[in-house]
């Protein structure tokens, strides 16, 4: 056997849940004596979690790091002599074959744009960049070599199901995204007025960062994923459906024109979509959990409760309006979720804040550029703050 092929990996947002799990996948794959691919982590970036960054950079002997928080750069330089310290995450792109964009929130847009413009593979875990900036990201996807492989369990599932057709554009009848329903599945609006931050953070099947966990509890996460699916796969909104599936074993489905539905099943572990994106079009050799058919007794399905979990339809609405509406809505949601996490808002007020903010949205005319998205993001935040200050 020859020596393994090298794949250089950069991780923007390496200290968070997706970032650290990416390193788990790399460790596991590189530990295999029979490996035919060697993943080399070349570049890591964080906002301000420099302690984590320093430990990771030492373990993986990384040559380049990015630190967004300028006030923490000096201590990183001191701790990592000989390592280049860059000011922005997009500076990591040049050093990798595949860029994992695990930045949380709208700040991830630059990494998405830089990776696609450089004609590289983007393992995309940052939802907001595609959801908010879909119209700006779209043209860059045709850069030679550029490719988005989604690191989101649902979209990774759809990506896998789509491999069973060679005529995606004509043979896809529906995309069906599954939702666990979050910790508050089956509860009423009245029940939910007094829930605490800790209750909202206790997700039944997935272990994720705080922002996305709150978004899962409101179904905003699923709503954002509907927009993400529309952007990624070019399927119209009336052919993207959501079904609640509490076991989180089926990660999403694609129905074709002949009525055949393909589903992707696996245990709920983000290391599968991460590994899928790192290895694409091949597969990693490490299974992070396998389905136990003796104990998996049943798979349940139910329609989502759209009255209690209003955020789902608010996202559909913003998606259908298109233009800057998804950016505006996503920004307003970020502000509301931050306020909830700080203890300054009731859970039920998250949807109310997003809805009231969205009423203030106005789309600019003409072709959208990145500046329009940034402006819509700013306006969405301002609108939410105004709603919250009343
Ligand atoms: Mg997801």
The list of the chain residues with pLDDT below 50 reads none
Tell me, yes or no, whether 84 lies in a domain: yes
Domain presence at residue 180: no
Query: What 3-state DSSP class applies to 296?
Result: coil
Residue 71 lies in a domain: yes
pLDDT in tens, 14-65: 999 999 999 999 999 999 999 999 999 999 999 999 999 999 999 999 999 9
CA of 351 to the centre of ligand 1 (A): 19
Residue 152 Cα to ligand 1 middle (Å): 5
Here the CATH number for the domain that contains residue 142 is 3.40.50.720
Distance 154 CA to ligand 1 centre (A): 5
What is the reported pLDDT for 1? 55
- CA 225 to ligand 1 centroid distance, Å: 7
**78 within a domain of the structure (yes/no):** yes
Residue 260 located in a structural domain? no
**By C-alpha distance, which of 271, 303, 317, 309 is closest to 290?**
271
> Do the Cβ atoms of 198 and 258 come closer than 8 Å?
no
Total residue count of the chain as it appears in this document = 390
Q: How far is the CA of 326 from the centre of ligand 1 (A)?
A: 17
* Full-model pTM: 0.93
Tokens 């949807």 found at: 351
Residue 371 lies in a domain: no
User: How many domains is the chain built from?
Assistant: 1
Inside any domain, residue 218: no
* Contact in structure between 60 and 240 (CB atoms under 8 Å): no
Q: Determine the pLDDT at residue 356.
A: 98
Asked if residue 281 has a cis previous peptide bond (ω within 30° of 0), the answer is yes
CA of 270 to the centre of ligand 1 (A): 9
Spell out the alpha helix ranges (H) of the chain.
Answer: 17-30, 50-59, 73-79, 109-117, 127-140, 153-161, 168-171, 189-192, 197-201, 210-218, 220-233, 271-279, 311-321, 325-341, 348-358, 370-389
Distance CA(217)–CA(203), nearest Å, equals 8
Q: Ligand 1 centroid to 212 CA: how many Å?
A: 9
Kindly state the tokens that stand for 238. Answer: 């009336």
CA of 88 relative to ligand 1 center, distance in Å: 26
What's the Cα-to-Cα distance from 294 to each of 297, 298, 300, rounded to whole Å?
Answer: 7, 10, 17
- For residue 82, report the distance from its CA to the centre of ligand 1, in Å: 38
For residue 193, being part of any structural domain is answered with no
CB 177 within 8 A of CB 229: yes
Write the pLDDT tens digit of every residue in 150-209: 999 999 999 999 999 989 889 999 999 999 998 999 999 999 998 999 999 987 777 778
Residues near ligand 1 ion, CB 5 Å cutoff: 152-154
Q: Domain range for residue 12?
A: 5-150
81 CA from centroid of ligand 1 (Å):
38
How far apart CA 183 and CA 113 sit, in angstroms, is 34
pLDDT at residue 358, as a whole number: 97
């Amino acid at each position: 056997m020859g020596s393994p092929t090298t794949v250089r990996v950069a991780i923007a947002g390496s200290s968070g849940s997706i970032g650290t799990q990416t390193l788990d996948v790399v460790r596991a794959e590189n530990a295999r004596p029979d490996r035919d691919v060697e993943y080399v982590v070349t570049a890591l970036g964080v906002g301000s979690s420099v302690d984590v960054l320093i430990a990771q950079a030492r373990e993986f002997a990384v040559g380049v790091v990015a630190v967004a928080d300028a006030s923490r750069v000096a201590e990183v330089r001191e701790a990592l002599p000989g390592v280049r310290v860059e000011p922005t995450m997009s500076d990591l792109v040049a050093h990798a074959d595949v860029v994992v964009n695990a930045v949380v929130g709208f700040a991830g847009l630059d990494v998405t744009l830089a990776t696609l413009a450089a004609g590289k593979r983007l393992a995309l875990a940052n939802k907001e960049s595609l959801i908010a900036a879909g119209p700006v990201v779209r043209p860059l996807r045709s850069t030679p070599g550029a490719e988005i492989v989604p690191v989101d369990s649902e979209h990774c599932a759809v990506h896998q199901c789509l491999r069973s057709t060679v005529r995606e554009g004509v043979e896809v009848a529906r995309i069906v995204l599954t939702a666990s329903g979050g910790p508050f599945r089956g509860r009423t609006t009245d029940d939910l007025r007094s829930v605490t931050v800790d209750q909202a953070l206790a997700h039944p099947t997935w272990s994720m960062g705080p922002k996305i966990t709150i978004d899962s509890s409101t179904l905003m996460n699923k709503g954002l994923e509907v927009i993400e699916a529309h952007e990624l796969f070019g399927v119209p909104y009336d052919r993207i459906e959501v079904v609640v599936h509490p076991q989180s074993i089926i990660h999403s489905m694609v129905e074709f024109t002949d009525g055949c539905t393909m589903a992707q099943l696996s245990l709920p572990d983000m290391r599968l979509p991460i590994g899928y994106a790192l290895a694409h079009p091949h597969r990693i050799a490490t299974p992070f959990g396998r389905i136990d058919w003796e104990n998996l007794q049943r798979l349940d399905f139910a329609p989502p409760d759209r009255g209690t979990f209003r955020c789902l339809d608010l996202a559909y609405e913003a998606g259908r309006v298109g233009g800057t509406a998804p950016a505006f809505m996503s920004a307003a949601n970020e502000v509301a979720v931050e306020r909830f996490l700080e203890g300054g808002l009731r859970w039920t007020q998250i949807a109310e804040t997003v809805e009231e903010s969205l009423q203030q949205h106005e789309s600019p005319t003409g072709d959208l550029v990145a500046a329009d998205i940034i402006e819509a993001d700013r306006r969405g935040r301002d609108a939410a703050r105004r709603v919250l200050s009343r």
